[in-house]
Amino acid sequence: MSERLQSYIYLVRLDKPIGILLLLWPTLWGLWIASDGFPNPIILLIFCLGTVFMRSAGCAINDYADRHFDKHVERTQHRPLTSGKISKQEAIAIALILALLSYG
């Protein structure tokens, strides 16, 4: 896998799916309750993708907002935006694209 692609994966935290699952569970509960236990598969897919896209957009915009602070924190100083592997403009563009896709 290319280093650039790996940096994008780290930016949107696809390497740490627990955040997606924490948002997905309440979404799935709501769908199951609203549909009496049998959600439409297309609606289910749309909500699952929307959850992944929006969480990923949130991670990208969070890294942009914290880019100056993250340089001073050991745990976050190697993130793609802080370390310069991804530019500020790329992070904003990725966040915007993912946010728009989540409303798709």
What is the domain partition of the chain in residue ranges? 3-103
* Buried b or exposed e, range 11-48, using 16+ CB within 10 angstroms: bbbeeeeeebeeebeeebeebeeeeeeebeeeebeebe
pLDDT at 104 over 90: no
Question: What's the pTM value of the predicted model, to 2 decimals?
Answer: 0.89
pLDDT at residue 62, as a whole number: 97
Q: Maximum Cα–Cα distance for the chain, whole Å?
A: 49
Q: What is the mean pLDDT of the chain?
A: 95
In this model, does residue 58 exceed pLDDT 80? yes
Whether the per-residue pLDDT at 99 is higher than 90: the answer is yes
Q: Average pLDDT of 65-84?
A: 94
Q: How far is CA 82 from the centre of its chain?
A: 17
Angle at 21 between CA 19 and CA 26, to 5 degrees: 115
Residue 78 three-state SS = coil
Token pair, residue 83, equals: 């370390």
pLDDT > 90? residue 87: yes
